[in-house]
Structure 1
Amino acid sequence: MLKIGVILGSTRDNRLGGKAARWLMDQAVQRTDLQFELIDLRDYTLPFFNERASNMHVPTQDAEGLRWQKKIAEFDGYVIMAAEYNHGPTAALKNALDYAYVEWVRKPVAFVGYGSVGAARAIEQLRLIAVELQMAPIRSAVHIQGGDFLPILMGQKTFDDLAHLQPLVSTMFDDLAWWTNALKVARER
């Protein structure tokens, strides 16, 4: 079965990401073609990237960076759960992406964003970063926007109230499955 890492890209104490990740994982476990694992950046104490170069050119020296690379290498594709801070992705997420290279190459990535505009600006930047890491960002994404995001953040709604996002999640997973399968076959050749 194809293995997908779901990367929770916010490490803030008061993040909405944990609830969003549980909501997504509840839907993910219903898939029979993909196996999902949640990867919380809080579980990796990556220092700010300070290696001599990317691990594309020079082996990583930092032990936590090596542990991160080993975990990331286990997967055939990824979903990145992205919060948007000041029109961009979190520093913790960008740092984690920088700590690997070889492990990302020729693997698909999908995005689930949350924030005032569904993290659209952060996801746009993450797509560019993914291309530089030789990943294949897929078109389908899920954007949890202000009208849904703020009531959940304020405790007035729960993710159970977001049934209108279900078709987007299904489409994203379908596209991710297709790309994951195609790219795995191509990598193995």
Structure 2
Amino acid sequence: MSKPVLQVIIASTRPGRAGRAIGEWFYERAVAGGDFDVELVDLAEVGLPLLDEPNHPRLKQYEHAHTKEWSAIVERGDAYVFVTPEYNHSFNAVLKNALDYLHQEWQHKAAGFVSYGGLSGGTRAVNGLRQVVSSLKMIPVVEAVNLAFYPQFVENGTVKPNDVMTGAADAMLAELAKLTGALRPMRLAAA
């Protein structure tokens, strides 16, 4: 049996963003862990417009090519890690839009979070995300990576992690692997 697919989804699309470097660091950590086939998905490259489908996503009756392409990407995933900034005590609109585009594709899959920001390390963004992913029938893990005052960890576009970050990443990946295996029968039954 092949390894499950973990998609590391970079939420920030801003010029000069730290999300790409943080996402690449986590991606490399996940690949090194060996439990998943890992894909890096950058919402800046996906480039979804604001939700423009006339039918409710739960019907999976997509009319636009960008939605069909996004659906195929997400459908491939067995688990997700959302790399999210914190904007105004929440997660960004680009990520909310990407989540709202689809429904069935997210169901019965594990979700983890790597967040970054100032004092809170993005934890307020993650609190909001937990509610959204739960309503899409994803199962969020408790373990997370939270980077407070993140610029101290990013040098020339590369993350310089400390032991706390790597330990948190490894703990989250282990939990995602367990949960992904446990949820597999539910996904197969739904298919």
TM-score relative to the length of structure 1: 0.92
Structure-2 separation of matches of 1:11 and 1:46 = 11
Question: Closer, same or farther in 2 for the Cα pair 1:187/1:157, shift >3 Å?
Answer: closer
Q: 1:48 maps to which residue? A: 50
Q: 2:38 maps to which residue? A: 36
Question: Displacement of 1:58 after TM fit?
Answer: 5.2
Q: 1:89 maps to which residue? A: 91
Question: Closer, same or farther in 2 for the Cα pair 1:157/1:8, shift >3 Å?
Answer: closer
Residue by residue over 1:63-94, the C-alpha shift from the partner in whole angstroms, topping out at 9 and shown as x without a partner, is: 11111011100011100001111111111111
Q: Quick check: 1:127–1:137 contact (8 Å CA) kept in 2? A: yes
Query: 3-state SS of the aligned residue for 1:23?
Result: helix
Question: Displacement of 1:118 after TM fit?
Answer: 1.2
Question: Closer, same or farther in 2 for the Cα pair 1:53/1:87, shift >3 Å?
Answer: farther
Q: 1:173 maps to which residue? A: 173
Structure-1 separation of matches of 2:93 and 2:36 = 29
Q: 2:65 maps to which residue? A: 63
Structure-1 separation of matches of 2:136 and 2:15 = 29
Q: 1:14 maps to which residue? A: 16
Q: Quick check: 1:151–1:157 contact (8 Å CA) kept in 2? A: no
Q: 2:186 maps to which residue? A: 186
Question: Displacement of 1:165 after TM fit?
Answer: 1.2
Question: Displacement of 1:54 after TM fit?
Answer: 2.7
Question: Displacement of 1:167 after TM fit?
Answer: 1.0
The gaps in structure 2 that reach 5 residues or longer are none
Question: Closer, same or farther in 2 for the Cα pair 1:93/1:79, shift >3 Å?
Answer: same
The gaps in structure 1 that reach 5 residues or longer are none
Q: Quick check: 2:153–2:161 contact (8 Å CA) kept in 1? A: no
Structure-2 separation of matches of 1:94 and 1:150 = 24
Q: Which one is further off, 58-67 or 101-110?
A: 58-67
Residue by residue over 1:126-184, the C-alpha shift from the partner in whole angstroms, topping out at 9 and shown as x without a partner, is: 000001111111111110012xx13246x599622423211111110000000011101
TM-score relative to the length of structure 2: 0.91
Q: 1:3 maps to which residue? A: 5
* 1:126-137 correspondence to structure 2 within 5 Å: 126-137=129-140
Give aligned-pair identity as a percent: 32
Query: Would you say how many aligned residue pairs link Structure 1 and Structure 2?
Result: 186
Q: 1:138 maps to which residue? A: 141
Residue by residue over 1:9-56, the C-alpha shift from the partner in whole angstroms, topping out at 9 and shown as x without a partner, is: 000111001110121122111122211110000111211113234321
Superposition RMSD in Å: 1.7
Q: 1:124 maps to which residue? A: 127
Structure-2 separation of matches of 1:32 and 1:168 = 16
Counterpart residue identity of residue 119, structure 1: G
Q: Which one is further off, 103-112 or 54-63?
A: 54-63
